[in-house]
Chains A and B, each alone.
Chain A
Amino acid sequence: KNQVEQSPQSLIILEGKNCTLQCNYTVSPFSNLRWYKQDTGRGPVSLTIMTFSENTKSNGRYTATLDADTKQSSLHITASQLSDSASYICVVSAYYGNNRLAFGKGNQVVVIP
């Protein structure tokens, strides 16, 4: 079964500091991996989407990396701001088969002043 595991489940960081979120997956055959940001009580918003051939992709202060060999991805937040407080969801898609879209449970990030 296609699965996505995210770590840490939650973390608290000081404003201005960096942090890195991890996503491990067992989805096969791999199509793409996406990171979403979800503010409390709102719908997820796409941050990045990466295919097999892409190792890194940035969106402002967010940088995602992908290692398709080890089936791992990370999302790095640089110079965190209070508005970065949210849940970050990793979503992995397969080309075919059942359960083609697998969602992680999210990394809950709290940025404190």
Chain B
Amino acid sequence: DGGITQSPKYLFRKEGQNVTLSCEQNLNHDAMYWYRQDPGQGLRLIYYSQIVNDFQKGDIAEGYSVSREKKESFPLTVTSAQKNPTAFYLCASSMGEIYNEQFFGPGTRLTVL
């Protein structure tokens, strides 16, 4: 089956710890994205990547880091510098030009205690 997978679905961490969220796609899409979703708010772009070994900051990149070593994978690290990390994180991918139709993964809910 083609699609985007995110793991884990639920993640708990203590305050001050870094945590990495996984995102893998087998759609052969060039572009990948990370969004954060908070209750009552629209999706906000954290980082995006158009090609391997290249990525750009989105609207709320502070406290986050990413890597794109393989076309299929775009992991997101939530660092201890992120002041309010508890949220629902969504990964997406699209073919070709960066803002073409996006396909979303199932999401990871991160709770920092």
**Residue total for B at the interface (Cβ-Cβ under 8 A):** 21
The A contact surface, by secondary structure, is strand
Known: A43-B105, A100-B99. 4 other contacts (CB 8 A): A42-B107, A44-B43, A105-B40, A105-B41
A residues 38-74 in Cβ contact with B at 8 Å: 41-46, 49
Closest residue on chain B to residue A99 by CB atoms: B59
> Does B109 contact A41, Cβ atoms closer than 8 Å?
yes
- Given contacts A31-B99, A93-B99, whether A43 and B106 have CB atoms under 8 Å apart is yes
> Does A42 contact B41, Cβ atoms closer than 8 Å?
no
Closest residue on chain A to residue B48 by CB atoms: A101
Seen from chain B, the residues whose Cβ lies within 8 Å of a Cβ on chain A are: 4, 6, 40-45, 59, 88, 90, 92, 99, 101-107, 109
> Does B99 contact A101, Cβ atoms closer than 8 Å?
yes
Chain B residue numbers with a CB within 8 Å of A45 are 104
Chain A residue numbers with a CB within 8 Å of B40 are 105
Seen from chain A, the residues whose Cβ lies within 8 Å of a Cβ on chain B are: 4, 31, 34, 36, 41-46, 49, 89, 93, 99-101, 103-106
> Does A44 contact B104, Cβ atoms closer than 8 Å?
yes
> Does B42 contact A4, Cβ atoms closer than 8 Å?
yes
Report the bound CA distance from A28 to B92 in whole Å: 23
Report the bound CA distance from A41 to B40 in whole Å: 14
A75 → chain B closest CB, angstroms: 16
Closest residue on chain B to residue A44 by CB atoms: B104
Chain A residue numbers with a CB within 8 Å of B101 are 34, 46, 49
Centre residue among A45, A46, A103, A104 by max chain B CB count within 10 A: A103
B106 → chain A closest CB, angstroms: 5
B40 → chain A closest CB, angstroms: 7
The contact of B106 among A4, A42, A99, A105, by CB within 8 Å, is A42
> Does B103 contact A103, Cβ atoms closer than 8 Å?
no
B110 → chain A closest CB, angstroms: 13
Chain A residue numbers with a CB within 8 Å of B102 are 46
Chain A residue numbers with a CB within 8 Å of B103 are 46
Closest residue on chain B to residue A106 by CB atoms: B42
